[in-house]
Amino acid sequence: MTEPGSLARQQFVAQLVVVSAMALTVAAVAGVVGPPAAERHMRLAGHGGQPDVLEHAEQAFRSGLLTALGAGIAIALVGAVLANVWLIRRLGATVVLLRRGAERVAAGDYSSPITLADDAHELRTVANSLNLLAAQVGATEATRRRMLTDLSHEMRTPIATLSATLEAVEDGVVEPTPEILDALRQQCNRLHRLADDMRAVSAFEEGRLPITPTRVGIDNVLRAAVDAAKARYEASGVALELAAVPDAWVKVDGERIGQVLDNVLRNALQHGASAVRVAAGVADGWVRVDVIDDGRGISDEQLPHIFERFYCGDAHRRRDEGASTGVGLTISRAIAEAHGGRLDAASEGVGRGATVTLRLPEAS
């Protein structure tokens, strides 16, 4: 029926022991308490002076009691055995389903959920937990595979540049001039940024984003971001303006939100803007920050994809030393969502600029 040492067999034996103990207890108590009680009732009925009658009545009582108890206990034991067999088979089938589901997950199949519609609530809870675990493992594995594919693609260019330049230096074709060394350093820096960004986007997509929110004025957040970007904008000859900021508070990780604004401002600078304006407003419990540029804009075809990893719809964007690795906006949206907010983009079309909007819950 079941394997030796299985939970079902242990439960079956335990139930038999309990029912047997109860039957023996009932029989012993009835044998000790029943006859004296019957004799007392016979004496109360006026048969105390008739020993033969008392003895016959006691024998009849014992016989009837043993017969009744024997029949009742036998029926109870049969019923207990049948109930236990049914319960054990059902439990065993459920455990088999759970085991097979866990084996499928271990084998890499994360798309076969376990369904236990008619089983006990506790067992359904276990099945749901296994399904949730499988979904999380599957999402993590899918993220890992996508990241490996994307990473290998993005690393190809800087590695090829490094290899070709080093080979040319070794062959004496080019001299290791400061310009050549600077080019090598830029490619190494790009690989370093790529590794950092991939680690960050992996943590964000898997829900492992560490944030430490504090209550801070949105004015302080925006001024810090604009001040950090001002030198880079001045070097590129691009105007950067911060409009009047409302007196509003948000509960955020200032460093993370600063990272979002830095990525958005870098993105505007790389896409041909001659002027960028940062504005903020408050409405319906939300603080809204708009980064508005007059750059090359975004086409309707490109707009749904700009927050995807490594998406590059604009082949003419600036590729200076501080250029993005292609995951900046992906990380920025994940940070915004981790704060309960949103990061969206809008554009009226190519050549008409773009607006990136960050929404954060207002802190009361």
Q: What is the CATH code for 127-205?
A: 1.10.287.130
State mean pLDDT over 111-124: 70
Reported pTM: 0.53
Is the domain spanning 214-361 CATH 3.30.565.10? The answer is yes
Does pLDDT of 329 surpass 70? yes
Lowest mean pLDDT among 229-243, 304-318, 321-335: 304-318
How confident is the model at residue 2, as a pLDDT? 52
* Domain residue ranges in the chain: 7-107, 127-205, 214-361
Whether the per-residue pLDDT at 110 is higher than 80: the answer is no
Segment 272-296, tens digit of pLDDT: 889 999 999 999 899 999 999 998 8
What is d(CA 356, CA 339) in angstroms, rounded to the nearest whole number?
17
The model's confidence at residue 331, banded by pLDDT at 50, 70 and 90, is confident
